[in-house]
Structure 1
């Protein structure tokens, strides 16, 4: 009986269209998470459509992210593929690419904030710098988890599957739209102004995978660095905006991806990655 069910599922996954496979994955992922989320929501006294507080969001996010590799492993097993097919190969090269991407992400944001400080758009709360060491390990761990899982799902599984029917750029554009829109699930008011920036970030991370020869290490490191740096700045309240520049420059609701400065930062980083791929690796 069990063998027949497995064979039926394998036939379904292997013969299904790209769209069906992608939809099935996301439905399965969310379906596995919902019972857990329901119990957690009851425990933390959260009822939709109430707004989620920062301390309520983390308990809901962690199981969602931890389930993703397990669900993806099921799809991989049924389709006779491997994580390597989606760009994840655990070796020394992965660690090197991760470190390189992380460094590039930190430097790009450092340049952006330094430029804003120099222009007088904001100033540094020096007294809050002492808060960074205590929060560094936890934020870094979360950033690596979020960056790794999202890259495995969006630039790994989703991008690779879409490339069965589309060119890498069309597949990248579609996967980036899905990546951007799914952020609306958690914070609609703050996320809406960031949608164009999130789409561009997704495309930048597609270029990062190309620059890494199809691996996810550089995209993972870059994504984790952006999450880590922005979360650290927000949590420690390191930056205070002076109001000399409008929100369309600095970012609505203090979100860099909702402003021109953040967009320029993403485009600049994407250009560096593009040149990297153009001079060292063939572009599919």
Structure 2
């Protein structure tokens, strides 16, 4: 305590200067500060995990390697964002992340809408004969049902807080709403290239459109992230469950640009229709 009492006056001017700088900083400086600190704090953690997971950056990330890396990255985001908020005197509620009953209700609504939209799209593909349903794999769903849901909720919560919350809100201060939505959605899409470039490149337009619809979901939820969080989680949950359990097999009756390049719905016309249809439902019914 004696040493702290000596050091505190030495650090106080620097802290005050930093607080003043962040309060007067431009939107781009605040955004860059967050992403630089986020990645900078994660890299040492990623390095340690890479050793234990035997992961090499120049090789594709395997699913069993990606999940620990992804979770460690995402768990750091709220802490870094809290620090940036403290410096700029803001809170998570400024970004639409409010913990209350209304948010939980919106979360459930978005979750149901996300799953329903994919059920409709895949039902249409099954009816057209573009894919087939593997009934024998239904038994594989139960063991993975809850774990995938929890991961989906975590991933969606962090991504919505960062991109539709922090990034969109900050950009909105200096740019028109439509431009803030376009830029934040583009950054959201491009950052997915960090994990898998070959499979992600065809998904970039779909990911950008997904970001735009999620901004729309926040707009129609009175600025809160509940619907966007649930919608995002519902999509991740449904797609990850289908892929992990092998519930769908494509028949190759149409081009994979229709059903989804590399079996990724967002890289095909069907996925784009799903996103556009969901956006239309939000626009007309929420």
User: Would you say same fold, with TM above 0.5?
Assistant: yes
TM-score (norm 2): 0.95
More deviation, 58-67/1-10: 1-10
The answer to whether 1:195 aligns with 2:204 is yes
TM-score (norm 1): 0.96
SS at match of 1:215: coil
Distance in 2 (CA, whole Å) between partners of 1:83 and 1:169 is 22
CA deviation after TM superposition for structure 1 residue 15, in Å? 1.0
Distance in 1 (CA, whole Å) between partners of 2:82 and 2:244 is 34
Is contact 1:6-1:78 (8 Å) kept?
no
Distance in 1 (CA, whole Å) between partners of 2:17 and 2:244 is 49
Distance in 2 (CA, whole Å) between partners of 1:109 and 1:146 is 18
**Partner of residue 223, structure 1:** 232
Structure 1 residues not aligned, in runs of 5+? 278-284
The answer to whether 1:32 aligns with 2:41 is yes
CA deviation after TM superposition for structure 1 residue 44, in Å? 1.2
Pick from 124, 146, 160: which aligns with 1:137? Answer: 146
The answer to whether 1:148 aligns with 2:157 is yes
Alignment length (residue pairs) = 277
The answer to whether 1:261 aligns with 2:270 is yes
**Partner of residue 118, structure 1:** 127
The answer to whether 1:62 aligns with 2:45 is no
**Partner of residue 5, structure 2:** none
**Partner of residue 245, structure 1:** 254
Pick from 228, 235, 242: which aligns with 1:233? Answer: 242
- Two-structure CA RMSD over aligned residues (Å): 0.8
Distance in 1 (CA, whole Å) between partners of 2:76 and 2:13 is 25
CA deviation after TM superposition for structure 1 residue 276, in Å? 3.7
CA deviation after TM superposition for structure 1 residue 210, in Å? 0.4
Pick from 82, 90, 93: which aligns with 2:91? Answer: 82
CA deviation after TM superposition for structure 1 residue 263, in Å? 0.1
Is contact 1:177-1:199 (8 Å) kept?
yes
**Partner of residue 62, structure 2:** 53
Runs of 4+, deviation exceeding 3 Å: none
CA deviation after TM superposition for structure 1 residue 4, in Å? 2.1
Distance in 1 (CA, whole Å) between partners of 2:66 and 2:18 is 34
1:260-279 paired onto structure 2 within 5 Å: 260-276=269-285
The answer to whether 1:209 aligns with 2:218 is yes
CA deviation after TM superposition for structure 1 residue 7, in Å? 1.4
CA deviation after TM superposition for structure 1 residue 234, in Å? 0.3
1:160-179 paired onto structure 2 within 5 Å: 160-179=169-188
Q: Which has the larger radius of gyration?
A: 2
SS at match of 2:98: coil
Pick from 111, 116, 119: which aligns with 1:107? Answer: 116
Deviations 1:54-78 (A, max 9, x none): 1011111111000000001111111
The answer to whether 1:4 aligns with 2:13 is yes
